[in-house]
Amino acid sequence: MNTSEDKSTDKISCEALSEPIVVFDKDGYIQTHNLSFQNMVGECCKGRNIRSIPGLSDVWSLFTWYLKKRLDNQRRNRFSYKNREYDITFNEFYNDNRNLYSIVFHDISHFVSIEQELLKRNKELIAINNLSTVFMAARDMDVVFNRLMETVMMITDFSLGWLVLFEEGGERIVSMKGVSESLEKSIREGCISKLMEAVFNESDPLFIFDHNDIQLIPCLKKEGINFFGIIPLRGYDTIKGFICLGNRLGRSFDFDTASMMSLIGNQVSLIIEKVKLFEETKRLSITDALTGLYNARFFYQSLDKEIQRAKRYDESFSLIIFDIDDFKDVNDTYGHQAGDEILIEFSQILLRHTRKTDIVSRYGGEEFVIILPNTRKEVACSLAERIMNEVSHTAFKANDCEIRITVSGGIAGFPDDGATAKDLLYCADMALYEAKSRGKKRIIQYRGTENEDCF
């Protein structure tokens, strides 16, 4: 086969392919290529060494590696050129008594783009699933918030962060991760309050602060933070809180990072709404609708737990049952609405005189019960007396009337009067019955067959 025929054959075989193809010898000198290759490179390259063409030196490295290995399963390689992605195929053939080689460039940019988009979507789905699992796996809200922050930091690869929620009493930090004691102290003292206020009044879904911005925020600068982001948690009508994320090492910020952070903001916002709905549902399930106190169901659960706790730590506690004297007469005289107003106001008196650790419940009708952890009966008597005295000196207002009432109470103590919920309630009930039979408006502590007044 002569040279002119070889060149003609090479040209025909090259142009027969729509994909870029180049033919070269073992030293890298290009013998021929098709128009697609010329368009890809931007010029005619016949006679040039493939290594001299900008951007194609890596192809030569792959080719020499292929030549050394000569393994069929190593003949396709991924290659990037001028913002395009290619799979390149090496082929070897014999022509005019010499070995020649060809490279075919298969443009896979579209498929790579789809692959990257699928990977991105898959990562987003994993993030959504992980965040959703946090809420479904725990029912203690503190645990939910802590796991939520752990998951957010794992997904975003930040080294520190905290979650802030806005509540009726103001903002509350519900979880912190990776934050030093000094930074936590500064945050709680309001070192970034002005920054948060500025963000609160904006509508952007994400706020990013780079190294230069952080130099103007002393507490973050001192902590060595080089990258800081704030993600507003938006509810239906307002901002419900923020996720603050920081890195002590610098990091690049690109569209994918922004997209993931915004996605996390949306998902966490939905989870916060679910958490609040769950808490409200839980509150309603254990709350008396009229007075706002705990209901009888929650009281029984709490009494069982308190008995177990007291047994474990060898402690005592007291139980007080109050009953409003002659409450039927109040309803008959002033109406049930007035009776309801008295029940509500009496509930507030109970709450004012008790601790946060005490369980104050509406037992039923005009009966109320209080569990006083780690409290002796003598102390419970003193508390019950103060409550009784305040009630007797209070003019309850209802239907434009001032109504005077009195209350009676019975007290029992664990473990002296009973080691079970049933026994304790029986003893407290007996003491209350004794108070009623002795003329009402009095507090009786259970003493077996010789119940006695508290004072």
Residue 227 pLDDT > 60, yes or no? yes
Q: Would you state the pLDDT for residue 252?
A: 76
Q: Would you state the pLDDT for residue 451?
A: 57
Burial 269-296 (b: 16+ CB within 10 A, else e): bbbbeebeeeeeeeeeebbbeebebbbe
Q: Number of structural domains, the chain?
A: 3
Pair (262, 120) in one structural domain: yes
Pair (221, 365) in one structural domain: no
CA atoms within 13 A of residue 324's CA, in its CB half-sphere: 27
Q: Could you give the CA distance from residue 338 to residue 344 in angstroms, rounded to a whole number?
A: 10
Statement: the pTM of the whole predicted model exceeds 0.75: no
Could you tell me if residue 358 is inside a domain? yes
Of residues 272 and 215, more confidently modeled = 215
Band of residue 9 on the pLDDT scale cut at 50, 70, 90: very low
Pair (91, 137) in one structural domain: no
Pair (161, 256) in one structural domain: yes
Q: Would you state the pLDDT for residue 453?
A: 62
Pair (268, 302) in one structural domain: no
Kind of pairing between the strands at 407-414 and 443-445: parallel
Band of residue 445 on the pLDDT scale cut at 50, 70, 90: very high
Could you tell me if residue 436 is inside a domain? yes
Answer yes or no: are the C-beta atoms of 252 and 112 closer than 8 Å. Answer: no
Q: What percent of the chain has pLDDT over 90?
A: 42
Q: Would you state the pLDDT for residue 127?
A: 64
For residue 55, what is the domain's CATH number? 3.30.450.20
Mean predicted confidence (pLDDT) in 416-443: 93
Residue 118 pLDDT > 70, yes or no? no
Computed over every residue of the chain, the mean pLDDT equals 85
Pair (134, 223) in one structural domain: yes
Could you tell me if residue 97 is inside a domain? yes
Pair (330, 419) in one structural domain: yes
Could you tell me if residue 291 is inside a domain? no
Could you tell me if residue 290 is inside a domain? no
Q: Write the pLDDT tens digit of every residue in 267-326.
A: 888 877 877 777 778 888 899 999 999 999 999 999 999 999 999 999 999 999 999 999
Q: Would you state the pLDDT for residue 348?
A: 96
Could you tell me if residue 87 is inside a domain? yes
- Residue-range definition of the domain harbouring residue 248: 113-285
Residue 404 pLDDT > 90, yes or no? yes
Alpha-carbon distances, residue 325 vs 66, 82, 300, 387 (angstroms): 99, 90, 24, 14
Pair (103, 117) in one structural domain: no
Residue 74 pLDDT > 60, yes or no? no
Pair (321, 213) in one structural domain: no
Choose one of 229, 261, 285: the last residue of a domain. Answer: 285
